[in-house]
Amino acid sequence: MSGGEPGDDEPVELPLDGELDLHAFRPADVVAVVEEYVRACRERGVLRLRLAHGKGTGAQRAAVRRLLAGMSEVVSFDDAPPELGGWGATLVVLRPPETSSAL
């Protein structure tokens, strides 16, 4: 049954520029969005990310960091410096994708 807003369940195309503002997503979707975004960025060679989750109660920050801690693609993550959002954003460094070399 439809009836929601137009585009409610349609995929949203995000620019893979390393900057992701999570305020635009429903809290229930944030972890899945971040996981897909991290993998897509890595595939395209974007290895430094800034995930803006906001300060609020810290629940989104904690959920994002739990996910990142369990992803083999992630080398490290930390709070952004104050000028980039402080603890309202997380900076992520990704492992370069493996290159397959044909012999």
HSE (CB half, 13 Å, CA atoms) of 37?
28
Centre a 10 Å sphere on the Cβ of residue 86 and count the other Cβ atoms it contains.
11
Domains of the chain by start residue, with CATH: 19-94 (3.30.1370.110)
pLDDT per position in the chain (103 positions), as tens? 344 444 456 666 778 999 999 999 999 999 999 999 999 999 999 999 999 999 999 999 999 999 999 999 999 999 999 999 999 999 999 999 887 655 5
